[in-house]
Chains A and B, each alone.
Chain A
Amino acid sequence: MTASVSITLKVNGETVSADVPPRMHLADFLRERLALTGTHIGCEHGVCGACSVRLNGEVVRGCLVLAVQADGAEVLTVEGLSDSGEIADLQEAFRNRNALQCGYCTPGMLLTAQELLAQGGVPDRETIREHMSGNYCRCTGYQAIVDAVETTAAARAAARG
């Protein structure tokens, strides 16, 4: 049998240590070991984006990073991003625009959209679509999601003055 590996990482600001089997991916680690079930799992091969998390400041596929590879890293999930209030306006725009139905894709959409919005500026719809192209939604048809991201970008730009 293969040996477990000890890892220590920061998840949503808290230091976590655990022994994990090398084959366990980060999304499973977050869900099963830390009960952070906001990170969803769809395809487990990188196609759908439901598992998106922030790793050392960048959005990645939780299903394509092994938990052992995240040793020493800082991970932020949709729970952390919600609690900090960083995406409160984006979440509200999603609600207002009906940018979610079943909500399965939503955590990944929020993380991915916030990565684009954090670059500043007001991206056009084409740029938004391009940036979100790796995230599947099986319910909304995407228009409402692009609307919500566009609205948030405009509101943030206005607030910046």
Chain B
Amino acid sequence: MKAAAFDYARPATLDEALGLLRRHGDAAKIVSGGQSLVPALNLRLLSPEILIDIGRIDALRGITVEGGTVRIGALTRHVELMNSAPVAEKLPLVAEAIPHVAHPAIRNRGTIGGNIAHADPASEMPAVLQALDAVIVVRSADGERRIAAEEFFTGIYETALRADEIVTAVEVPAAKAGERFFFHEFARRSGDYAIVGLAVRMTVSGASASNVRLGFFAVGDKATLAEKAAAALSAGPVTAATVAAAQAALADDLTPQDDQQASAATRLHLARVVLGRAVAALLEDPSLAGRTAA
């Protein structure tokens, strides 16, 4: 299908873009890589009056390391994250997750700012950024707001972003000594959206885990931290019993949905399976993967 007609503006600076956004309000849509927006336009799910193309605002580009934080400009493309030496070194979880985001041709255009603003519940980065305790930096004509990734994602395609705000960057704490990471997703085909996925950060010391963050995606209407399961894993040495308790707690932490890909029950089961595998891998004890009743 073809998109409905719209006007087009390509501001050269962020201030200009923010001014246009304020002026046009809900009638406007920002476009970055276009890899989620243009499909929606072509399918006529959206018909804005004007597109504001921020794709050439250089201030929104680049990956920089400052102290213990990696700052990723909103226009950083998926392919740039994949090929970035600082990301490979400081953000191993991002490096592991990014090849699962779409296909090469889409990774050549899609940006991290667009990806998180789009907030697809099956998207990888929203869960990864929550697991890593990242901050989303947004700006309007009134100034900057810094939003914890945990607070940013509010529902299916919904975020804490206001209509006059633009995501300018994501700030992610670099990996610290003792931290370990795990990423896995179940998908029908490489590059497809996940059926269930999990991004984990934890600090491991001997048989104990602390600092546990379990970012689930494609289970429920948004990427979510499983807090009760994380607490179960943090209570003393991790044993088969703690893993079972954490897996049981996922029933409280998650609200899986039924759709054409999988039932809610299948999703909860897969979430438990992937959690068991994560713990076994991170504590280097295969017996912890456990068995889950269906």
| B104 close to chain A: CB less than 8 A | yes
How many Å lie between the Cα of A30 and that of B213 in the bound state? 48
With A2-B7, A66-B38 as given contacts, are A22 and B51 in contact (CB-CB < 8 Å)? yes
Are A69 and B5 interface neighbours, CB within 8 A? no
- Collect the chain B residues with CB atoms within 8 Å of residue A64's CB: 34-35, 38-39, 106, 109
Query: In angstroms, how far is the closest chain A Cβ from the Cβ of B248?
Result: 36
A sample of 30 cross-chain residue pairs with beta-carbon separation below 8 angstroms, ordered by A number, consists of A2-B5, A2-B7, A2-B8, A5-B8, A21-B5, A22-B5, A22-B8, A44-B1, A44-B42, A45-B39, A46-B35, A46-B38, A49-B105, A60-B105, A60-B108, A60-B109, A61-B105, A61-B109, A63-B38, A63-B42, A64-B35, A64-B109, A66-B34, A68-B10, A69-B34, A69-B53, A130-B190, A134-B102, A134-B104, A134-B191
Q: Given the complex of chains A and B, what is the CA–CA distance between A60 and B79 in angstroms? A: 12
Additional pairs, 14, CB under 8 Å, beyond known A49-B103, A66-B34, A69-B31:
A2-B6, A22-B6, A44-B42, A46-B35, A46-B38, A46-B106, A63-B38, A64-B34, A64-B39, A66-B38, A68-B8, A68-B53, A129-B190, A134-B103
Q: Which residues of B contact A (CB under 8 A)?
A: 1-8, 10, 31, 34-35, 38-39, 41-43, 51, 53, 55, 79, 102-106, 108-109, 189-191
Q: Which residue of A lies closest to B110 (CB)?
A: A64
In the assembled complex, the Cα of A82 lies from the Cα of B3 at a distance in Å of: 31
Chain A neighbourhood of B189, CB < 8 A: 133
Q: How many residue pairs, one in A and one in B, have C-beta atoms under 8 Å apart?
A: 92
Which residues of A from 6 to 62 have beta carbons under 8 Å from B?
21-23, 25, 28, 44-46, 49, 52, 55, 58-61
A residues less than 8 Å from B43 (CB atoms): 45
